[in-house]
Amino acid sequence: MTAPPPLSPTLGALLGVHTGDSLGATLEFTTHSRIKSTYPTGLRDIIGGGAFSWPPGHATDDTDLTRAVLLAYRDREEFRKAGSSQAEEFDVAKCAAECSLKWLEGDWPERKKGSRPIDIGGATLTGLSKYARSRDPKNCGAGPGSAGNGSLMRCIPTALFTRGREGRIKESMAISAVTHNDARCTVSCAVYNEIVASLVSGATPKGAVDVGLEVATSLDCPSVEAAISRGESLSISKIAEEGPGEELPDRTSGYVLQSLSVAIAALLDPRSFEDVLVDVVRIGGDTDTNGAIAGGLLGARDGIEAIPPRWLEKLQFRGEFEELARSILQSQAN
């Protein structure tokens, strides 16, 4: 069996998503100019609030749905330990869909039973509503043409807990397709997860991005290839200071390829986890999701030690994420 990945970048990746989500939640939908006038050097503390009045460190849909996918990998490992020798018999996409449906229907920590999430993307709602009727993870999704970032924001557990590129790509695309089955979304998830897996295994940021580009090429998705190349040319610090402008013309509105480009640029920025993530959020727009997606890459790059303790201590699911990650990795090592 392939050795499990090191613990520090695994925890960094998971909690990087949570951190970026919670930091960005305060400024979701806020323009760059408004952020610059209120926080001239960027928001540097997790303070909650925002459009949905989040408690500090509380998960938005980004982290909640990452948790749903993480729970699916926990359940797969429990299935394997229970005696099955064929882990592929476990449908991880279906399990992730079931966990996501629990989130949608209010069977979730710190939520009133039966209550709906206060924030949910249109494609996610469409896909999960179709799944609730069909219970078929291959027969839902919002359809081609719907290319939001709602599956990219939640996909990272696949990178961390599935060994082997072929399996990761298959699972990344299948889990995305439950809600986001446009090829731009499914391929972006596969690319992102191969970048994360490469980072956790010790690749340089540039080396990991090259792996992602190779995957996009192998899956014949030129638009994702272009998004990666675009990310390589962007300067996060410049955009954070001057505003999106022509470099990001749709102003980080939630388009999956733009979020992927921003995350690639963040990964290749040599500054600290904190400085880069603050600048990703400072760009404005879909700040929580862009923060989550970039935070996952930065956490895989730098490890959990790079995430400021004052941020970690506020995260709603920190303890659970750490416990689940350690448990899955330990089980896989046995």
Point out the annotated binding site for Mg(2+): 60-62, 286, 288-289
Evaluate whether 307 touches 13 at the Cβ level (below 8 Å): no
Q: Residue 139 and residue 99: Cα distance in Å, rounded?
A: 17
- Residue linked to tokens 């350690």: 326
Token pair, residue 196, equals 């994360």
N-terminal to C-terminal alpha carbon distance within the chain: 9
Give the annotated binding-site residues.
Answer: 60-62, 286, 288-289
| Torsion of the alpha carbons at 300, 306, 307 and 308, rounded to the nearest 10 | 180
- Residue linked to tokens 């989040």: 54
The helix (H) or strand (E) run that includes residue 60 is none
49 in helix, strand or coil? strand
Evaluate whether 227 touches 261 at the Cβ level (below 8 Å): yes
- Residue linked to tokens 């897996």: 197
288 in helix, strand or coil? helix
CA geometry: angle 195, 200, 206, nearest 5 deg: 45
Nearest to 327 by CA among 10, 1, 2: 10
- Residue linked to tokens 């959990």: 304
- Residue linked to tokens 């949910």: 120
Token pair, residue 93, equals 């996409």
131 in helix, strand or coil? helix
